[in-house]
Amino acid sequence: MDRYPGGLLYSVPATCEEVDIGHRVLVPLGRGNAEVPGTVVDRLGSEALAEDGVTADRIKPIIRRSDDLPALPGELLELARWIASYYVCPIGITLANLVPAAVRKGVGTATRLLISPHPTPPDPRPRLGSKQRAVLDAVLATPTEDLPIASTDLAERTGVGGTATVRRLAELGLLSIETVTTVEARARAGSGLEDREVELNAGQQAAVEAIGSHLEGGFSSHLLFGVTGSGKTEVYLRLARRVIEAGRRVLFLVPEIALTPQTTARVLARFPGAAAAVLHSGLTAAQRHREWRRVADGDATIILGARSAVFAPVPDGTLGLVVVDEEHDASYKQDQAPRYHGRDAAIRRAQLAGCPVVLGSATPALESWHNATRTGRSHLHRLPERAPGLSLPKIEIVDFAEERRQLERGGARLIGPRLGGEIARTLSAGGQVILLLNRRGYANYIACPDHRCGWVMTCTDCDAGMICHQANGAIARERWVRCHHCDAQLRLPPTCPLCSKRTTVFGLGTQRVEEDLARLHPDLARAGAMVRVDSDAMGGADDFHEVLDRFRTGEIRLLAGTQMIAKGLDFPGVRLVGVVNADTALNMPDFRAGERTFQLVSQVVGRCGRGSTAGTAIIQTLQPDAPAIRRAAEHDFEGFAERELADRDRFGLPPARRMCRIVVRDGGESAAMRLGTELADRLRAHDPGPDVEIRGPIPCSIARIAGRYRVQVETLAKDAGTASRFLARARLGGVFTGPLALGEAVAIDVDPTSLM
Ligand code: ADP
Ligand code: ZN
Ligand code: ZN
């Protein structure tokens, strides 16, 4: 069925009970007609079939409806169809993403057998065995107010039971039985936060009123642009309450629950108890299943979750508001098929449900800014001031090249005198410190000290340098090298393989920052008041939350880590934020490098100044004049965005045009290039027209990962509609067939956010 990539066509026999979109059915598959479950994604009339050139008598009929899952809401199915078609992903894979595995497998499902005496038992009573008699007597002796009684309760109370016996008695017409399915799960943890109702400031009030006036008006799209700490969450929560009071549901998306525990806690504190459902990977499978069922049954009024919560099975016609917090966050984009963007899927979902969507950020994605300021597709609402009692930090840019020249040779320290001095001052004045370095490990260069030799250690399977890691723990100074692309790991080679000189390691890494800090503040390190936070140091979300708790109580004075600590944390004791090196993101070969740097610097800087005293932020950089860094230091998103959008216009890059990136992979270098050439040729043969540019093939920035060569072809189209129509034409015209079939070797990414 070409309308839905990967979909199959079946007929519905007249004898079959009503089958509709979203229903689960059993169908015969393949030559052996194996019975498999499926989901109805669409119903086509004879006209549509004729259009597709299909004759009805050649289609296999479905076997019957299946009740393994409740029917999916039609709005959700429509979203799935949009994702399959827009992101060019087989509908089966899309649907598999839609319903969590725990739900498909029915984890935690408990079936209870409820028993009561039959109202009209046969007379005379048939002959019964002794066990049957005992069970029947026990049911008849049960007080009326306890009926129907669950088979387990009966067994517990009377010592008799057994479902086989009960079922036999029901067959004999002596008992009535009913089975009830529930999902049992340990209660999820509460928020542990006390709700604090605040009085809205003028900006918040205006935003609530302006967006609030659209709540009954069908679909509308809003961008809530407010500096960090301007009280965006409070705006979402007020709107949410209005929607819930009007009897509708709210879908609230956050980047990653594990990294945004405070937002989650605030939402749960405002809407406690049964009203909220949380969908995220930190739950047990049974909990996830139960939360999903509660949403499907219409029991949850506010549904909170990360990217995939956009697929929450909210009953049709009940969704009243969709919120996407920190809408610029990279984690909204899924990096495997379907490669959908959670924000864009959320906008689509709101459109299908006919309700408003609110995107919020201090550093909106330029796509969203473009829509709010240039195309009129969404309404812009500004929160220009921080919430009462909060002030913007004073930001200072330190030219690290200059500082390094002043440091003694061989020192190669990562923390210069300006930042180091401020850390010491802040700590001795009782303040807390957050330090950001967006690179894990100890050092990112492993090389020969002799320039004439020039050996640099790279991964044998990837075109990428190896990263040096140090074993955790103070005593074991064991060093390893690891590839961050294929996870290969080796012991650090002690000498250069070419000239046998002692290997040196240099460059940046969070472990090295930790080492520098421990040298500067040994007492703090010994007392455990200084903690490194990155995915290597934190075993899981629980470790991270424990560290945050200890930071909140003041036991931890300094946090140093990757972007894990840049997001959404709100601690009044933080007086200083340091960015160890703002260049790490800036030097990426990606047209969004500037945008990312701006976001990262603004977000981490926003972590301070939340208490009564204004904070300070110090940014070390080798490029003190880079606009992304300058403008972030001036809290000037609008100035940055204007300049950046002008550049994107000039080079025809998103959001000025829509990009699609197709990567082909092969073990052989020339074979990969041949595949890329074939792909570009086929695409060019499908009438791209003047509004679609096809670029490539060219090797990807990382030309080889895990032994496979990577070549990319990009298409740039005038707008989303043009892009989508061209890709549909290419797909239906057979571009992605044979050696170019989408899958392991060929990956398509519509609106890509990562270009490595
Ligand atoms: P944002 O999401 O924009 O970064 P938050 O919603 O986290 O900002 O608000 C920052 C802090 O200010 C929070 O602790 C919040 O409780 C507080 N806050 C928000 N609005 C107000 C207000 N109107 N009055 C007082 N405090 C507020
Ligand atoms: Zn590798
Ligand atoms: Zn050498």
Ligand nearest, relative to CA of residue 230: 1
Q: CA–CA separation, 11 vs 19, rounded Å? A: 10
Q: Are residues 671 and 556 in the same domain?
A: no
| pTM of structure | 0.88
Angle, alpha carbons 601-607-612 (nearest 5°): 135
Burial of 269 (0-12, 13-18, 19+ CB in 10 A): middle
Is 80 exceeded by the pLDDT of residue 354?
A: yes
Q: Summarize pLDDT for 163-179 with one digit per residue, the tens.
A: 788 888 888 889 888 87
Q: Which of ligand 1's atoms lies nearest the C-alpha of 362?
A: 3
Ligand nearest, relative to CA of residue 705: 2
Tell me, using a 6 A CB cutoff, whether residue 431 lines ligand 1: no
Choose the residue to mutate in 234, 552, 602 for probing ligand 1, maximizing ligand atoms within 8 Å of C-beta.
Answer: 234
Average pLDDT, the chain: 88
CA of 266 to the centre of ligand 1 (A): 11
Q: Are residues 229 and 340 in the same domain?
A: yes
Q: CA–CA separation, 333 vs 255, rounded Å? A: 10
Ligand nearest, relative to CA of residue 453: 3
Is 90 exceeded by the pLDDT of residue 611?
A: no
Find the CATH number of the domain harbouring 421. 3.40.50.300
Is position 566 within any domain?
yes
pLDDT of res. 409: 52
Tell me, using a 6 A CB cutoff, whether residue 384 lines ligand 1: no
For residues 615 and 576, the answer to whether their CB atoms sit within 8 Å is: yes
Is position 651 within any domain?
no
Q: Are residues 410 and 447 in the same domain?
A: no
Name beta bridge partners: 663.
712, 747
Tell me, using a 6 A CB cutoff, whether residue 204 lines ligand 1: yes
Joined tokens for residue 440: 């894990």
Q: Are residues 232 and 311 in the same domain?
A: yes
Q: Which of helix, strand or coil describes residue 323?
A: strand
Is position 97 within any domain?
no
CA of 566 to the centre of ligand 2 (A): 27
Q: CA–CA separation, 580 vs 600, rounded Å? A: 12
Q: Summarize pLDDT for 77-135 with one digit per residue, the tens.
A: 999 999 999 999 988 889 888 888 888 777 777 777 788 899 888 888 888 888 888 88
Q: Are residues 520 and 633 in the same domain?
A: yes
Q: In this predicted structure, which of 185-189, 206-210, 376-380, 733-737 has the lowest mean pLDDT?
A: 185-189
Tell me, using a 6 A CB cutoff, whether residue 266 lines ligand 1: no
Q: CA–CA separation, 111 vs 459, rounded Å? A: 53
Is position 76 within any domain?
no
The position carrying tokens 């220009």 is 384
Tell me, using a 6 A CB cutoff, whether residue 516 lines ligand 1: no
Is 70 exceeded by the pLDDT of residue 311?
A: yes
Tell me, using a 6 A CB cutoff, whether residue 388 lines ligand 1: yes
Range of the domain at 153: 109-183
Q: Which of ligand 1's atoms lies nearest the C-alpha of 606?
A: 4
Burial of 506 (0-12, 13-18, 19+ CB in 10 A): middle
Ligand nearest, relative to CA of residue 481: 2
Q: Which of 46, 68, 90 is the last residue of a domain?
A: 68
pLDDT of res. 2: 59
Q: Specify the number of domains making up the chain.
A: 6
- For residue 195, name the pLDDT band (cuts at 50, 70, 90): confident
Q: What is the mean pLDDT of residues 206-228?
A: 96
Q: Summarize pLDDT for 409-440 with one digit per residue, the tens.
A: 544 478 888 999 999 999 999 999 999 998 88
Q: What is the DSSP string of 699-750?
A: EEEEEEETTEEEEEEEEEESSHHHHHHHHHHHHHTTTTSGGG-SSSSEEEEE
Q: CA–CA separation, 705 vs 711, rounded Å? A: 11
Q: Are residues 224 and 373 in the same domain?
A: yes
Joined tokens for residue 343: 């924000």
Q: Summarize pLDDT for 479-495 with one digit per residue, the tens.
A: 889 999 998 999 999 99
Q: In one letter, which amino acid is 593?
A: A
Q: Which residues fall inside 5 Å of ion ligand 3, going by CB?
A: 448, 453, 455, 496, 498-499
CA of 516 to the centre of ligand 2 (A): 28
Is 70 exceeded by the pLDDT of residue 599?
A: yes
Find the CATH number of the domain harbouring 118. 1.10.10
**Percentage of residues in the chain having pLDDT higher than 90:** 51
Q: Which of ligand 1's atoms lies nearest the C-alpha of 262?
A: 7
Is position 193 within any domain?
no
The position carrying tokens 């009030």 is 205
Choose the residue to mutate in 197, 198, 267, 324 for probing ligand 1, maximizing ligand atoms within 8 Å of C-beta.
Answer: 198
Q: Are residues 210 and 300 in the same domain?
A: yes
Q: CA–CA separation, 636 vs 629, rounded Å? A: 10
Q: CA–CA separation, 528 vs 381, rounded Å? A: 43
Ligand nearest, relative to CA of residue 500: 3
Tell me, using a 6 A CB cutoff, whether residue 201 lines ligand 1: yes
Q: Which of ligand 1's atoms lies nearest the C-alpha of 266?
A: 16
Q: CA–CA separation, 756 vs 659, rounded Å? A: 14
CA of 251 to the centre of ligand 2 (A): 39
Ligand nearest, relative to CA of residue 488: 2
Name beta bridge partners: 620.
398
- For residue 606, name the pLDDT band (cuts at 50, 70, 90): confident
Is position 89 within any domain?
no
Q: Nearest residue CA, atom 10 of ligand 1? A: 229
Tell me, using a 6 A CB cutoff, whether residue 602 lines ligand 1: no
Q: Are residues 298 and 403 in the same domain?
A: no
pLDDT of res. 272: 76
Q: Summarize pLDDT for 448-504 with one digit per residue, the tens.
A: 999 899 999 999 999 999 999 988 655 456 888 999 999 899 999 999 999 999 998
Q: What is the mean pLDDT of residues 281-294?
A: 85
pLDDT of res. 503: 92
Q: What is the mean pLDDT of residues 48-62?
A: 78
Q: What is the rounded radius of gyration, in angstroms, for the C-alpha atoms of the chain?
A: 30
Q: Summarize pLDDT for 522-543 with one digit per residue, the tens.
A: 999 889 899 999 888 888 778 8
Q: Are residues 297 and 379 in the same domain?
A: yes
Choose the residue to mutate in 200, 267, 570 for probing ligand 1, maximizing ligand atoms within 8 Å of C-beta.
Answer: 570
Nearest CA-CA partner of 233 in 380, 87, 383: 383
CA distances from 37 to 23, 58, 107 (A): 10, 21, 18
Q: Nearest residue CA, atom 6 of ligand 1? A: 231
Is position 695 within any domain?
yes
Q: CA–CA separation, 733 vs 334, rounded Å? A: 27
pLDDT of res. 438: 87
pLDDT of res. 636: 93
Q: CA–CA separation, 664 vs 681, rounded Å? A: 14
pLDDT of res. 473: 59
CA of 386 to the centre of ligand 1 (A): 8
Q: CA–CA separation, 706 vs 749, rounded Å? A: 20
Q: Are residues 576 and 722 in the same domain?
A: no
Q: Which of ligand 1's atoms lies nearest the C-alpha of 383?
A: 3
Q: Nearest residue CA, atom 9 of ligand 1? A: 231
pLDDT of res. 250: 97
Q: Name 45's Cβ contacts closer than 8 Å, sequence gap at least 6.
A: none
Q: Are residues 372 and 225 in the same domain?
A: yes
Tell me, using a 6 A CB cutoff, whether residue 198 lines ligand 1: yes
Is position 755 within any domain?
no
Tell me, using a 6 A CB cutoff, whether residue 199 lines ligand 1: yes
For residues 260 and 319, the answer to whether their CB atoms sit within 8 Å is: no
Backbone angles phi, psi at 439, to 5 degrees: -150, 125
- For residue 190, name the pLDDT band (cuts at 50, 70, 90): low
Q: Are residues 501 and 513 in the same domain?
A: no
Q: Summarize pLDDT for 689-731 with one digit per residue, the tens.
A: 999 999 999 999 999 999 999 999 999 999 999 999 999 999 9
Q: Which of ligand 1's atoms lies nearest the C-alpha of 390?
A: 12
Q: What is the mean pLDDT of residues 56-73?
A: 81
CA of 468 to the centre of ligand 2 (A): 13
Q: Summarize pLDDT for 617-667 with one digit per residue, the tens.
A: 999 999 999 999 999 988 899 999 999 999 999 999 999 999 999 999 999
Tell me, using a 6 A CB cutoff, whether residue 263 lines ligand 1: no
**Percentage of residues in the chain having pLDDT higher than 70:** 94
- For residue 191, name the pLDDT band (cuts at 50, 70, 90): low
CA of 494 to the centre of ligand 3 (A): 11
CA of 629 to the centre of ligand 1 (A): 25
